[in-house]
Amino acid sequence: MDIFRFRKQLSTAVLVLAVLAGPLTSISLAGKLTLKAALESISISELKNHVNFLASDALEGREGGTTGAWAASKYIIGELEKSEGLRKGDGGSGDDTADWLQYFRGNFRNILVTIPGSDPELKDEFILIGAHYDHVGYGSRSNSRGPIGFVHNGADDNASGTAALLEVLEALATIEPAPRRSILAAFWDGEEKGLLGSEFFIQNPTVPLEKIRLTLNSDMVGRLGENGLGLHGSRTAFGLRQFLARQNTVSLTLDFSWDYKRDSDHWPFFEQNIPAIMLHTGKHDDYHRPSDDVDKVNFEGAQLISQYLLQLTLAACNSDELPQFRPESRPEVPSLRSLEQRFAMTIKRPSRFGVSYNSEVAEKENRILLTRVEVDSPAREIRLEPDDEILELGGYAVTAVPDFQVLVLTTPSPTTVRYKRKGEEKTVSVTLRGDPVQYGFEWRLDEAEPNAVIVTAVMPGSPADLAGLKRDHRILKIGDDAPGDRDAFRKTLSEAKGELRFEVELAGRFSVLKVQKFPPD
């Protein structure tokens, strides 16, 4: 067999970006066309206008309960009133006396907005999307990283999240037909003083808390970088990670962060057994400092995140079923970091052959020229020496490094090796260490992610490695089928003939990888 041709087949990876149809397929054709226009309506220029106003010196840092926060709330309400289809925070009741504002502690004010659902059976359920609009004013020793006494404009924290929510609401107001579930949007006040606004809402809800099916909290989304968009809380509902990933049609890099704590307005809802996600692009050197200014906001990134939030909200509203709250996530939260570390694995096993080779010669000349033979190794037992050239292993020609790596890992033992020394070729029998590898990856299951196999380690040079499988990949399908439980997946791997086709997800992006079992049939 031509091992080079086999290697080319082994390394084939066909990218299939996240346009793989998720729950959004329940939207009608007309709705899809309207959705496209709604997505395009989220503009960088409008995001800039919102952030420029909210983060201006005139608002003096928008400290909760102050005139700066009051001016911010007036601006937000003015923007909301421009969009038909947005109701004041009446919980969808149609109460003409309802106000946009939910007052608490005197001068503090949440701003509440509703969009009634269109489905007779689902309209009494709500998807809550929120962002806090307050910041820390001139700063104090308790809330500023200094220097204090200067306006802390909070362009990222959280003018960016507020601007994103305004743009998403404007777009949602244009959707025809209206989403099936109702939408409750909240601009929270007093977040920087201890989640005051969201905590007050929990004690004084305008809709039954048990009817809120999912909370999406946009907090600091203005610094999108190479680490992508952080999604905190994906373990709060069964299968929530895959649900979140399926809506990523804008090709964001998604970081399903293990960090989850009482640091923003998602937390009070989590405490009420409501799945809750925080969208966040990460802290930075300007966090809670006067230098968190508009010129440092990544508006192109904020646009992508806003579009993703729109997609996510619509998918949640229109899905026949939503991920259910996972009670186990509550006791799990204090130890999430240790859980992540426990699940991190590496594959360590001794070399089956025990040689090193000249990488420069291998790269330029496609020859495996030995530079070292390990003591007490199979190669030493058959008296291989430096400068020997490996020609074949197990009857397969070795013409490049990947050929050699995969053959060492996958060839049953005992086998034969053909090599050249000083122009003379020899073939000898060799007993390799350990059992041969079929695929070369370790995996685990996680009840928080049903219908997924989680890759925990990939052996370098293995068929899985050459196919592009990586640690943290989620295997969602084998061919057209879900992986099944532990026994079913093991059986599929052991009984497979030739090539396996995996649909996988990593960082919110989907691909199809073709992994070739060796030896091929």
| pLDDT grade for 7, boundaries at 50, 70 and 90 | very low
Evaluate whether 515 touches 467 at the Cβ level (below 8 Å). yes
Q: Place 178 in a pLDDT band, splitting at 50, 70 and 90.
A: confident
Asked if 350-430 and 437-516 have one fold, the answer is yes
> Residue 431: which pLDDT band, with cuts at 50, 70 and 90?
very high
Q: Where are the domains of the chain?
A: 42-339, 350-430, 437-516
Q: Give the pLDDT band (50/70/90) at residue 155.
A: very high
Q: What are phi and psi of 41, to 5 degrees?
A: -75, -15
Which pLDDT value is given to residue 19?
32
Distance between CA atoms of residues 266 and 482, nearest Å = 32
Write down the pTM of the prediction: 0.85
The CATH superfamily holding the domain 350-430 is PDZ domain (2.30.42.10)
Residue 108's SS3 state is strand
Q: Are 168 and 179 in contact (CB under 8 A)?
A: no
In whole numbers, what is the pLDDT of the chain averaged over residues? 89
Task: Indicate the length of the chain as a whole number.
Answer: 521
The pLDDT value recorded for residue 26 is 35
pLDDT-derived band at 93 (thresholds 50, 70, 90) equals low
The proportion of the chain whose per-residue pLDDT surpasses 90, expressed as a percent, equals 74
Strands 101-104 and 108-115: antiparallel
Closest CA to 276 of 344, 218, 193: 218
421 DSSP β-pair partners: 424
Round to whole Å and give the CA distance between 446 and 452. 8
| CATH architecture assignment, domain 437-516 | Roll (2.30)
Tell me what pLDDT residue 481 has. Answer: 93
d(CA 262, CA 240): 20
Tokens 């020859």 belong to 367
Distance CA 209, CA 378 (A): 67
Name the band, by pLDDT with cuts 50, 70 and 90, for residue 459. confident
Distance CA 133, CA 165 (A): 10
pLDDT of residue 336: 76
Q: What is the dihedral of CA 75, 81, 82, 83, to 10 degrees?
A: 130
Model pLDDT for residues 281-333, shown as the tens digit of each residue: 999 999 999 999 999 999 999 999 999 999 999 999 999 999 999 999 999 88
Instruction: Check residue 516 and report its DSSP letter.
Output: E
d(CA 327, CA 235): 10
How far apart are the C-alpha atoms of 515 and 185, rounded to whole Å? 45
State the pLDDT confidence band at 334, using cuts at 50, 70 and 90.
confident
Closest CA to 165 of 294, 60, 45, 51: 51
Q: Which of 212-226, 287-301, 451-465 has the lowest mean pLDDT?
A: 451-465
Identity of residue 167? E
**CATH T-level assignment (fold) for domain 42-339:** Aminopeptidase (3.40.630)
Among the residue ranges 231-240, 251-260, 373-382, 401-410, the one predicted with the least confidence is: 401-410
For residue 123, what are the CA distances in angstroms to 24, 98, 208, 320, 473? Answer: 17, 19, 13, 12, 36
Per-residue pLDDT for 219 more than 90? yes
Distance, in Å, from the CA atom of 124 to the CA atom of 207, rounded to the nearest integer, reads 9
Percentage of the residues of the chain whose pLDDT score is greater than 70: 89
Q: 393 with 408: CB under 8 angstroms?
A: yes
For the residues 457-479, what does the mean pLDDT come to?
A: 92
- Highest average pLDDT, of 62-76, 85-99, 410-424, comes from 62-76
Strands 212-218 and 355-357: unpaired
Query: Which pLDDT tens digit goes with each residue over 186-204?
Result: 999 999 999 999 999 999 9
Q: Which of 91, 122, 161, 35 is nearest to 316 (CA)?
A: 122
Indicate the pLDDT class of residue 15, thresholds 50, 70 and 90.
very low
Tens-place pLDDT, residues 342-378: 666 666 667 889 999 998 998 899 899 999 999 999 9
d(CA 138, CA 92) in angstroms, rounded, equals 38
**Which segment of 19-28, 238-247, 384-393 scores lowest on mean pLDDT?**
19-28
For the chain, what is the radius of gyration of the CA atoms? 28
User: Helix or strand or coil: residue 355?
Assistant: strand
DSSP structure class, residue 325: B
Range scoring the smallest mean pLDDT among 32-36, 83-87, 144-148? 32-36
Those residues whose C-beta lies under 8 Å from the C-beta of residue 115, and which sit 6 or more positions away, are: 85, 86, 87, 169, 172, 173, 178, 179, 182, 183, 185
Structure tokens at 38: 């709604």
